[in-house]
Amino acid sequence: MKLIYIKHVYRLALDLVLPPLCVVCGRVNTWLCLPCAEEIPLAHHPICPRCGDSWADEGVCDRCRRTPLCVVPIRSAFVFKDAVRDAIHALKYRNGREVAEPMAWRMAQAWYQQQLHGDVLVPVPLFLDREAERGYNQATLLARALAPQIGVPVEAGLVFRVRPTRSQARLGVAERWVNVKGAFACSEVVDLSGVRVMLIDDVATTGATLDACAVALLTRGARSVSAFTLAHAA
């Protein structure tokens, strides 16, 4: 707890010395202003209809033909690059909680544009120590900001981590799958029979974390599990 407190004080001090600047226009005291968020283009490139990876050919991608994911489909509002990458970095590592509101507004636009559906939004959980260190779960912030705009409720505690995992960002493709295998469980309080679950997260890369969550949810009887992320790795 002492280390968490020190890191929190450090972030506050850093914001005093280097106040937040909009990642697009440089406006002071915000990591992303709404007018700039409105100008960031939504993802529109050809993708695999299952995993959401870039894919220009007919049908599903080679990976989905070989080893289809349990989470399907995976959709994203943006491509993880430029201003979107900087905004997500601020959201996750610079206490940029305010990024969630304008980005969730754009996610709502993408939700309707892509004709997505779900009965409940479930944010991908962080391990408790990591969430305590950060002070929040960025996926939960996005889900709660998105929910009233699309009329779908949030169940933030439905999936939880049963063990800590290494940061996926530091691992290779194969290591990511091993890292999160069996790392999630589903609450037994909620009856998921016939429920279409929509996972919410900041970035989809390999789909390993989303798929591990989906396995836990499907085991508890969910009708289907899909995912909607703020961004998808290019």
Regarding predicted confidence, which is higher, 102 or 9?
102
Mean pLDDT of 170-175: 86
The amino acid that residue 50 corresponds to is R
Mean pLDDT of 68-90: 97
Beta strand 120-123 pairing with 196-204: parallel
- Give the model confidence (pLDDT) of 33-58 as tens digits: 999 999 999 999 999 999 999 999 99
Bridge partners of 201, per DSSP, are 229
For residue 128, pLDDT beyond 80: yes
Looking from the CA of 99 toward its CB, the CA atoms found within 13 Å total: 29
Please report which confidence band the pLDDT of residue 5 belongs to, taking 50, 70 and 90 as the band edges. Answer: very low
Please report which confidence band the pLDDT of residue 228 belongs to, taking 50, 70 and 90 as the band edges. Answer: very high
Regarding predicted confidence, which is higher, 164 or 140?
140
Q: Going from the N-terminus, what domains does the chain have, and what CATH number goes with each?
A: 2-233 (3.40.50.2020)
Q: Report pTM.
A: 0.91
The answer to whether 54 and 62 have CB atoms below 8 angstroms apart is: no
Residue 73 in tokens: 């489909």
